[in-house]
Structures are given as structure tokens and as C-alpha cells.
Structure 1
């Protein structure tokens, strides 16, 4: 059915046995990349059945990944399927799940919905925010021709929504910890350094849209490195974000991002003006240190470590999942392998603040 049914079932069942109250899943539920809405729905049915042992009594909150792709396919391009209201990947995703409806409306009504693929919920004193960096997909290098958004990108309206939610949470006494989750790594380390939210430092990558009056396809936002830096600035200005969780890379890694991490600043690091970073400066706006955790480890083929300006504190190719435990005084994280090994453990994700 386009997924590793056995592995996913075992991980979900183990999380249930260990007392997990709910399950957040950062995308790539299915194989996707299909032009058939019926096929797309059937793949989701398989994933739901894999999660049934957990889901029958506990909540599951999925986000969209790059494999949640329902397409209009052409010899030279793959575009999010239309009509967007009924046949887009976003529309079918919303049809298949019952996620919160508190996401924003798109700034451009011609685009697909954000409902149920961009949302937040609070459980006790933990706020979880599902964001979507696989929205309105067009395969890379074709956005400028046809419009759409490359893998890993976030539109202006989504950034504004996240900034608003984090600002509100900062002054909310009922919220002690925040977890954000999506598919594409903000700081990839193995397998997707060439894309995700990095593209090997190529800030030319961006979304495009057709102007209604002129009909010209024009940029619909800043370059992806600027977008990434703006997103992480919002993260780093919050004192409550415990971690940003991603998948996509078929490995586990945990990386501390702070004001000393070499992340790249387009304004100063693109020394020859071609849009590609030539050096990697730290960002002084990343004031609150925050963990970036990737766990794309639910059964897909393994990815190895790649060279990046930032260095992970932990890295593993084992199949497994992250288990978080929140109390009044701390929020801990264990990465547990499918064989029962505790591969990585952080006693308090907030201790580095």
C-alpha cells in the first residue's frame, strides 16, 4: 500500500505500550506521487490501518510531507492537482483526517487550503504546532515557469501565522512547552542537504505565482534561506519552544541551533551575488538555543551523514521514534529503536535555554 506497514505498526504499538497520550507524525505517511485520487485515498487507508493499534483509543495528528503528493503530471513538470478545492493534495488530506480547523486562510484565494494541514492544539501545558513546508507543490526548477512552491518552502502567510501563534503562546501562562513539527528538515544533515530548507545554500529557490492582471509568473516570496532564517528567528525568540521536529531524511539526528551555529546569512555570505552562499555565518537573531530533531525512521531506506555547516550532537540510522515526557519541571526526549534500545536521550530539552 505504499508504506512499510509492519514497521509503522510496531512503532505505533510500542508507543502505546509505553503510555504515549498522543502521536504526532511529520508527514510522508504514504508513497504518494500519484495522479489518481482513488489511489491516494487507498494509500491513506493503509496508513490508518497501520496506526490502528494506537489510534483506536489515542489521538494521532499527522502533517503533510513531500510524499503526500497528488499530481497533474506532464513530461516536464509535476504540479499540485486541481481543482484545488476538491482534488489538490491539501484537499484530499483534509478529507482523510480530522485535524483542528484553526489554520489560516491563504492570502491568495486561488491557492489550495491550509485547513487541517496547518494547525495547532494544546495538550495540558504543551502546545503542538503542525506547519507545512510541502504546500502547493511544483517540482523544483519548474516553479518559475508554471508557478507553485518548491519542496521545503513556506509562504509569507504561513510565516505570519506561525509568528502570531508563537507570540501569543509566549504570554500564555497555560503553555509551558512548544513543539513544532513538519516534514522537511530546517537544518538537514543526511540525505536531503540538496533540498529541504537548505538546497546547498541556494537562496534563488522560491515560490512563484501568476499575477492576475499581467498574467506574468513572478516570485511569490523571498529566497528559501531568507525564509528559513525568518522562520527560525521566530522559533529562537520564543523561550518556550522545546524542539522543532522534522522527518524526510531516513535517519535520526539532533542538532542544537543557536547564535553561534554557522547557518548562513544571504546578505553577507553571498559574496559574488549569484544567490548561492559562499560562506556560513551565524545568525545573531537566534537568541534562544533550540533543538532541531529529525526522525525519518519509520522504515524507509537508510541515509548516511552528509557534510553541513552545522554539526549534529547525535546521529543514527536505526528505525525508531521519539518519545517525549512533559512535567511541570522539564520535558525529556528519548529516541527509541524498534529493537527496544534507547539510542539517544535528553533529560530536559529546555536546559539549554
Structure 2
């Protein structure tokens, strides 16, 4: 078999594996609040999330095109297939390590850092598309702060609207409403996160000479959506415990406010074709909601641990990908 074909098959496999892992790693964030407040049973939450992730994933392709062309030019990379494969392996390793320790780190940071690290290792810093790369970094950095602010404002609004309603009635109503917000959040997660593997596979098809277009083929969209849906069905209980309970004690009204806030941010990013970290956005929205409720009610020690992981993910994944590329380059 042709080496390019073998590498492309490997990339498709690892890209779908990345989406599968992303399913139980990141999608856990989307249903964490609804599970922790018992608005949904774990089984129903996972079925709902898997379904809505699949629907979201096949509906949009803008983020996938951004991943395909805005970090590095796939038409300009020599040995591009090896670069992409090294990036995928690095991102998967980091996702599995953070999942094992129950840390809600960013799959987006891991993947984007890995692509940049492997590409730089192959062709130097000049290979980066700095305009597109900086635009992506700005979205990744700013989105958690926006989510924190929106979460704070959303919870403040809910407090004013329902201040004369009994706590029991408020929580009962919002527990039902959380079914809708969990579905919405899972849908928006699919519109953004599943796109990243689609972009990677399309980069591989271009690098291998199998296509000359950055348009995302339908079979790629369906495969990535299915992989993420299957991953979601496995569930990510370690992440759910951290996001759903260790940041703050979540009641239905808090969960609904956090879900709505993060869904708005994620879907807004999708509409302008920018990848964001759903992990960052959801966790930050929960912190914002908690701050509006009671600043001391947020477990800032856990929050600091999460933030530290966010900060180190991109450089560590970039270094890992660079090393993996150099090792793989010896064989290909």
C-alpha cells in the first residue's frame, strides 16, 4: 500500500478516536449540572447528550474549515500527514491523562497546541498562519472571561426575576427547564467540538493528495458526529463529578443559568467559525453563576487547579507533539 494512503487511514482512525475520547471527556461538561441537580438521571442525560451532539455535529462545518486552514496551510506542509498524525497522538495522550485524574482540561487547547507544535517541529515557526492562529488563540483566551461575566449576569437576572418565588417552586421549575438547557448545551457542543476532528481529517486528505478543497466531505461529517455520539454514550463520570459538584454546590436554578450562559458563548463562537474550549466556557460559566450567588460559595482552590491545567495544556501538548513528530519522522 502507498505510504500516503496508510498515513491517511491512520489519521482518520486517530481523529475519530480523538472525537470518541472528546465525547466522554468534554461532553461530560455539558450534562454535569443536570446530573448533579438530578434534573436528569445519568442514563437519560447521556442519551440526550449523545443525540444532540450528533445533531449539532452534522449541522455546521465552519469551525472545521478554520481548523483546516487557519493554524497552518495544509497545502504548504512537507510531510504533512506525519505532522497531523503526531498532533493527534499528542492530543489523545493529554486528554487521557487529564481524564484519568478527573481534571476538566481543554481538548481544544490540546489539539490546537499539538498541531502548532508538530508543524513547527517539521518546518520551523514560519509555517504557522499567524493571523489565523492568533485569532484562534484570542477566542480560546477571551471566551472563559466572557462566560464568567455572562454567568454572573444571568444568575443576577434570575435572582431578580424569581426573588418573590419560593425556593422550592423555583428549583422545581428550573429542574424541568434544565432538560431543555442540557439538550441545548449538548447541541452547541456538537456544533463546535466535533468540528475539530472533521478539520483534521480534511487536512489529512489534502496533505495526502486525496482532495484539493477545504470543504468537509459528508462522510467525514457523519463519521466524526458518530464517533462523538458513541463517546458521549460511554460517559465521563470523573469529569462530571468535578464540574458538577467540586466547583460549587449546584441547584437547578444555578445549573440552568450556567447551561444557558455557556450555550450562548459556544454557539456564538460556532456562528463566527471560531473554535472555543467547551470545558473552559462551561466551568467559567459555573464560576460566574457561583460568584453571583455567593463568592465564598465557589471552591476557588478547585478552580485554580482547573485554570492551571488550562494554562499548561497548550505548551505541553505542543512540546509533546514536536517530540512525537521527530520520532515518527525517523520511520516515515
TM-score range, shorter chain: under 0.3
State the TM-score, normalized to the length of structure 2.
Answer: 0.26
TM-score normalised per structure 1: 0.25
More helix by share: 2
Larger RCO of the pair (alpha carbons < 8 Å, separation 6+): 2
